[in-house]
Structures are given as C-alpha cells and as structure tokens.
Amino acid sequence: MVRLVGAAFTETNLGTLPLFLLDKIITKISRRSEPGRTQTAGYSQGNFSSYVGAIREKAVYKRLPQVPDELLFSGSAPDEFLEIRASQKKPDWNPPRTVRYQDTFYRLEAISSGMPPWPFRYTLRKLTAGAMGRTVLVYSPDEKPLQAEK
C-alpha cells in the first residue's frame, strides 16, 4: 500500500528501501523479533549445531579404544531382547531394520547412547520364525562378543 500511494502522489516508483526502514522502525518500537529473521537464524543455528555435534562425536569416539561388543540377552518368549553395546557406530543400523545374529532374526528397535567404552547401544527384539527379508543386516563381529550379565 505504501508503494502504491507513494507512486500515485510522487509519480515515481519507490524502491523497497523505505519499506525496509519502516519495518525496522516498527520492529524497534514494538520490541518484537522479526519473524522471517528468527526462522532463518534458527535454521542456520540448528545446522551449525548439528555440524558441531557431528564433528565432536567423531573426535570423541575416535579416541575410544576398540573393544569387542558386549551382548545382553533379556526377557522371555515372546518378548526376548538382545542389547548390543558397541564401541563403534554400526553403519546402516537405523531402526526398524532386520538383523540376523547367528541363526536368529531380530528387529532393531532403538539406538541409544551408553557409557564408554561402549557408547552405542542397539536394542533388538527377537522375531518369530520366517521373518527373513531382502535387506537383512548380518551381525557377525570380527572379535567374539562379550556376554554381559544383568
């Protein structure tokens, strides 16, 4: 509206500078944040913190010693669980994936953080027979995993 009225009275096309200045003045007077700027700043702030978190994670976890995984079996049929505590992050292990360990199939239910030397925890639920799929992850560690006791 300001540009339309300005163009009607002065017979010139005003640029966006007067509107920008008017917006800044109103924002300062009302002491509210700028809606467009906070969303953009929040978005870039979120990306920045995400990058920093990823770099920090890699730096911290590279310094941890590589130890064999620790396995914890819990529950009873039909709710049997396997918790794998690992020192290194397992690639492509994102829930809900099917994982085969020895001759048993499990569904990867959750990933959580643990304490060193096993900062990665993978919670798997035992599946019934005949649960084979095309994209099954095969868990066969290089070193024999440790059996954890509850």
User: What percent of the chain stands above pLDDT 70?
Assistant: 81
Residue 38 falls in which region: left (phi positive, over 0), alpha (psi -120 to 50) or beta: alpha
Beta-bridge mates of residue 82: 73, 124
What pLDDT does residue 111 have? 93
What pLDDT does residue 35 have? 52
Please provide the average confidence, as pLDDT, over all residues in the chain.
Answer: 80
Q: What is the pLDDT of residues 78-126, one digit of tens each?
A: 889 999 999 888 988 999 899 999 888 999 999 998 888 888 999 999 9
Spatial separation of the C-alpha atoms in residues 125 and 118, rounded to whole Å: 20
Give me the mean pLDDT over the 59-77 stretch: 85
* Spans of all domains in the chain: 2-62, 70-147
Query: In a 10 Å sphere around its CB, with 0-12 CB exposed, 13-18 middle and 19+ buried, how is residue 104 labelled?
Result: middle
In the β-sheet with 120-126, what is the strand arrangement from edge to edge?
137-139, 98-101, 104-113, 120-126, 79-86, 70-76, 146-147
pTM of the full predicted structure?
Answer: 0.61
